[in-house]
Structure 1
Amino acid sequence: MSGMKASSKEGRLMETLERLLELPAADLRQSLNQASELLLGALDAEKVDVFLFDPARKTLNAIGTSNTPLGRLQRSLGLDAQPVANGGSIADVFKTGDPHITGHADQVPGELPGVVHELGIRSHMAVALVIDGERRGVVSAQSTKPAFFSDDDLRFLGAVSHWIGAVTHRAELVEQVTSAALAQGRRQAAEELITVLAHDLRNYLAPLMSRLELLRRRAELDGRPDDLRDLDRATYSIERLGQLVSDLLDVGRLEQGLFEIAPASMDLAALARDTAQALGTPSVDVRVEGPAELTAVADKARLRQALENLVSNAIKHSPAGKSVLIRLSSELLTDKEHVHIDVVDHGAGVPPELLPRIFDRFVTGGNAAGVGLGLYLASRIAAAHGATLTVNSPPDGGATFRLSLPASGPPERLDEV
């Protein structure tokens, strides 16, 4: 028995396709629910599902399901999520790409017991769902009546599945554009807020440093060494806060094209030793390996800023008792001497999903503190020097950030910083 209406197969196909094209560019779930309802009416089925594969969980999820008693029962039983490893006809169609049709699902070897016994499905047909040239899911129609669907119904489902793939792709693109616009808006708001905050903080830091200097003079005159040590620590903390404010303001300068460097001959080894001494902590020390002297042409202040951000990031992710290593080296690349500054930590490593965005603004990993600007600024300082900043984080943990710059200095003209 065919589930098709009395009208011609071609006419019903065209009517369904036209109605699919008329679906608004809504969110993905709404679009697929509407597509399922259209197919339900065209096939007189009791349930239609559009399954999409979730690679993280290796599960086929019914993102679109017709709003019928059978569809609601499926959701209440948890059968709208089917692990591919559990088998069943829907998983087989997804794995092989071959269509499936039966009028006696209870006699199909390997069919999911919940489909047969809990839902009472007898007639079932399914085809692979291809989205933008990739098999991404399954379109399925079911009925509790035996021998309900015909081969014509299966061909109809196959034809319509191509259009459902197009609808799915369109909905995904709309979601991506909407998400990107939302992220852009949030980023712009964050940049404006942080820039204003940085200016306000700088206004407070200058008088605070003046007051600390006054207290220092009094402590020196009165011979209070304990107070002098505490003032040294407080002054260092204020200086670090001042550096954070400078980092925040540098983000604005980068966006406005006002970020400049003043290259000159300098000793990278001395810079590494100074940084190690300044940033090492009682729980995480910073070591330096490499030549006693390594000369390059660079902006010392900016390079210090980049190196301090890299080392601070490494310390932040290092467990107590482990050290951070600054390793210096040089080599010939394309007939030019390049110097390398490697910052190595023994932390948990960079999560794989974070690697492509690790040098973006306001990106932080896990529960790490900070606003996510240090690595971004380090990467832009590297770019201003005609250098590269890369990261290597193996699966077994740890991370190595490599700043590699031409020893002779940056190119005379850089199109973009």
Structure 2
Amino acid sequence: MPRPSSRISGIVPSGKDGWEVHTAAWARREAGEDIIMLSVGDHDFDTPSQTIEACVAAVRGSNHHYTPLQGLPRLRNAMAVASSACTGVETTPDQVIATPGGQAALYAAVQAVLDQGDHAVVVAPYYATYPNTFSAAGATFTVVETPAEGGFQPRADMIRAALRPNTRAILINTPNNPTGAVYSKEHLEELAKLCREHDLWLLSDEVYWTLGGGEHISPRSLPGMAERTLVINSMSKSHGMTGWRMGWLTGPAEMISLLINLNLVTTYGLPAFISIACAEALENRYGVREIAERYAARRTIFIEAVRSMNDVVIRGSEGGMYVMLDVSAIEPDDEKFAWAFLDNEKVGVMPGSSFGEAAAGHIRISLCQPEPVLQEAALRLRRFVSAYRREAA
């Protein structure tokens, strides 16, 4: 075949992608092994029935045609209301654009603020797609780690040291995937000051905002930040709708107007029946409180189950759908630890280093399993740690 473009060839470099343990655990479970899957952040329960019925009604109501590029008016209005609640800034429909999932909102944000050869800073630990999203834009990036011993809070001095003359943007994620860290107002204010001083865009991934362990603070609400912040959001986690692929981006109206042109040449709008169901789910907050309460209970139960485990330290883990455990005192190689845990106790977890060097020596535990399963996994972890320590000795 003719040569593909360097742009598409360079999005995902060849080699390991960090998901090898998860892929193996999944394959072994599909082959019939009794594997506990704690490696993926997908709900173990269905989308709320009210949302499903709203979609069925929309399909039967002949909502099968093209929609506006920026999203149905009703959907954008509902997203604006949700953004007002999420960011603490009154948001109008012309400040949001609907996208097919949070990843598409992230892609749109990166395309909007970076030209070929521009530079960005990615705060780690980070969601796995972040680096390759910048690669797709032809941009370079520097990863800035957050200290585990500081609860994975971002450090403005470390970010400042990574800035270059062509730096245009900083990307953060709070509540954080994979660590569950909820960024404090103090650290966000320092970051906002840095953005104002250097005229930078701040890309803020806030898809876990309803699942925080405390008050969610969006950097968009800080002085001088509404005009330079793009907030990525999604219905996947908050409303139990991972497979529906619906998200949105919030930002200055002038930028959102430009992004409508990006939808023109990518999605050409979104399905009407899904848009209507999502609007109803946003308007009525279907499942939001129940999902948040479910994960809060699971987080508490699992953390209590591992809290007294020798040489296992809980880091971050205030919010989101994950618990991050420091296992470096037992085995510094987190990937080796994860493989051995899978082989010996049939539990699949994610090695922390899959999300950046800041999380090296950690494992990420997904809370997307019922409480009895999480308790069983904690028992297996305790047994595994004790046996591993004896073998090492």
Same fold, judged at TM 0.5 (above): no
TM-score class normalised by the smaller sequence: under 0.3
Q: Which has the higher contact order (CA 8 A, sep 6+)?
A: 2
Structure ID, larger Rg: 1
Specify which structure has the higher proportion of strand.
Answer: 1
